[in-house]
Amino acid sequence: MKNCKVCKETKPIEKFNITNKVKGYRDPSCRSCRLAYMKQYKQSDAGKLTQKKYAQKNKEKIAATHKQWQIDNKEYFLEYTKKYRAENKDKVAKREKTYYLKNKEKIAATGKKWREENKEYLKEQREKNKDKLSVQSKAYYVENKEKCLAYSKKYREENKDKTASNYKEWYQKNKAQVAERKKEWYLNNKERINAQQRKYRQSEQGKISAKKYNQKYYQENKGGTLIW
Ligand SMILES: [Zn+2]
């Protein structure tokens, strides 16, 4: 039996936490007094500061413990997460947005790394979902045309060399296909193209351009055989 210095009650020795196993020391306050004190301390400014400092100092350790706990309690964790997300939609969305804005570059880098490491998998997925994806991206494009155009413009400007060499490479591989498509496109849009060209030739810009072209042609073929 031991007397608690806080509540002054006499309790069995098991009710006091061991503070030093080797020397057999026990806490001078009983377990329920200790818990009450800890609870109060955690809510005090000093307690909060201690916890914050501890968290900063042991970031990795805490994260590892947390992760392990999630693995060990996978089902509970998933269920809990699902429920929490459903009940706190706005809060979660707001937090995710803040997190995204704060970690944009990090997220982009992680995503890029992952995509590079899972190239084969992504290719397979793309092949598998070809039709679905094309419908989806078309729909997205229609709804976000301005955004898409601005994005690809920005991307091209920021990656000039890359896009040029990518295109060149792609073109070399798909030359025949491109020619075929061009032809097809031309045949499908013949009327429109002709109308446009007519309109262009009649415009100021078109007249200037035609004049320039004629001059250039004349310069280049001055010494050549006149064919008219
Ligand atoms: Zn006590």
Write the burial class of residue 16 (CB in 10 Å: 0-12 exposed, 13-18 middle, 19+ buried): buried
From residue 213, alpha-carbon distances to 92, 201, 206 in Å are 62, 12, 10
Residue after which a domain boundary falls, among 100, 117, 134: 117
Q: How far is the CA of 50 from the centre of ligand 1 (A)?
A: 24
pLDDT for residue 7: 96
Cα–Cα distance for residue pair 159/152, rounded to 1 Å: 10
Alpha helix locations (H) across 144-203? Answer: 145-158, 160-188, 190-202
pLDDT for residue 209: 87
Closest CA to 28 of 46, 52, 48, 8: 8
Write the burial class of residue 30 (CB in 10 Å: 0-12 exposed, 13-18 middle, 19+ buried): buried
Q: How far is the CA of 4 from the centre of ligand 1 (A)?
A: 5
Q: How far is the CA of 9 from the centre of ligand 1 (A)?
A: 6
Q: How far is the CA of 13 from the centre of ligand 1 (A)?
A: 12
Residue after which a domain boundary falls, among 13, 28, 57: 57
3-state secondary structure of 20: strand
Residue after which a domain boundary falls, among 57, 73, 97: 57
pLDDT for residue 163: 82
The reply to whether 44 and 5 lie within a common domain is yes
Q: Is 42 in contact with 51 (CB distance < 8 Å)?
A: yes
Q: How far is the CA of 36 from the centre of ligand 1 (A)?
A: 9
Q: How far is the CA of 31 from the centre of ligand 1 (A)?
A: 7
Q: How far is the CA of 33 from the centre of ligand 1 (A)?
A: 4
The reply to whether 155 and 203 lie within a common domain is no
Task: Collect all residues with Cβ–Cβ distance below 8 Å to 77 and sequence separation of at least 6.
Answer: 69, 70
Q: To 10 degrees, the CA torsion angle through 35, 37, 42, 44?
A: 160
pLDDT for residue 228: 46
Q: How far is the CA of 34 from the centre of ligand 1 (A)?
A: 7
The reply to whether 19 and 31 lie within a common domain is yes
The reply to whether 65 and 51 lie within a common domain is no
The reply to whether 68 and 34 lie within a common domain is no
Q: How far is the CA of 8 from the centre of ligand 1 (A)?
A: 6
The reply to whether 112 and 74 lie within a common domain is yes
Structure tokens at 185: 């496109």
The reply to whether 132 and 158 lie within a common domain is yes
Q: How far is the CA of 6 from the centre of ligand 1 (A)?
A: 5
The reply to whether 161 and 186 lie within a common domain is no
The reply to whether 30 and 71 lie within a common domain is no
Q: How far is the CA of 22 from the centre of ligand 1 (A)?
A: 24
Q: How far is the CA of 10 from the centre of ligand 1 (A)?
A: 8
Q: How far is the CA of 101 from the centre of ligand 1 (A)?
A: 49
Residue range(s) defining the domain that contains residue 188: 179-228
The reply to whether 158 and 202 lie within a common domain is no
From residue 40, alpha-carbon distances to 17, 21, 43, 163 in Å are 18, 26, 5, 61
Per the structure, the count of domains in the chain is 4
Closest CA to 209 of 201, 219, 217: 201
pLDDT in single tens digits along all 228 residues of the chain: 999 999 999 999 999 999 998 998 999 999 999 999 999 999 999 999 999 999 999 999 999 999 999 899 999 999 999 999 999 999 999 999 999 999 999 999 999 999 999 999 999 998 888 888 888 888 899 889 999 999 999 988 888 888 888 888 888 999 999 999 999 999 999 999 999 999 998 898 888 888 888 888 777 776 555 444
> Residue 39 is part of a domain; what is its CATH number?
3.30.60
